[in-house]
Chain A
């Protein structure tokens, strides 16, 4: 963080991956990171929604699931350098 560059890994699965044509990428948060301020999942969703209508629609589905470092979280979860944040539809295993 001190170096000024902050990035996290984004992963997309299932219908979300298919709709957006990406499965995994690094997201640079430098522009939205302010020293001392926290970046949460909601802020990441807003940032990614700026990529276009398809992203905005996909990331604002009411049943979207967010997993931070392999654990399901709400949108107020705080994201840190090096975290892995995944977005996907409700799970249908078994």
Chain B
């Protein structure tokens, strides 16, 4: 039931053990995001993540709590990196524990879809062509909107 913003590597095995240890449940779902070696048009050799610490923490706490309420989670965790990351390093990890797989999987999807557009992080890619800020994607905004339309149904 917590958030971690960190510059150090994410220890996925330790995070999983902690998540399940906090609340043994029948269904555990997790998502792990890694740094890609390419973007739409070019190779990526390194990623830098800028963030707004106070706001990021608040937004992710509220997101975890709302996912917990919506899907009846007994435990959840959101871990996000900031600073410099090499290709293939883990950039984000989310986990959810529920009574059934549907709720656990949906909670992870909601947390990921929402954090990509609502949590104040900005990616800057470095590659053979130099450095550039990553532009937001319409597909991310659309995935985020799916959850809002379900909320109103």
Residues of A within 8 A of B (CB): 11, 13-15, 17, 63, 67, 70-72, 86, 88-94
Contacts and interface: CB of A to CB of B under 8 A. Distances in A.
Given A13-B120, A13-B122, A14-B122, A92 B55 contact: no
B136 interface: yes
A94 B92 contact: yes
Contacts of A86: 52, 55, 120
Nearest to B112: A94
Contacts of A63: 136
Nearest to B122: A14
Interface residues of B, number: 28
Nearest to B132: A15
A88 B51 CA distance: 11
Interface string B117-130: 11111111000000
29 contacts: A13-B52, A14-B50, A14-B122, A14-B124, A15-B133, A17-B50, A63-B136, A70-B55, A70-B58, A71-B58, A72-B118, A88-B52, A88-B120, A89-B122, A89-B136, A90-B135, A91-B117, A91-B118, A91-B119, A91-B120, A91-B121, A91-B122, A92-B116, A92-B121, A92-B134, A92-B136, A93-B56, A93-B120, A94-B91
Contacts of B121: 91-94
B33 to A, nearest CB: 6
B136 A90 contact: yes
A89 B55 contact: no
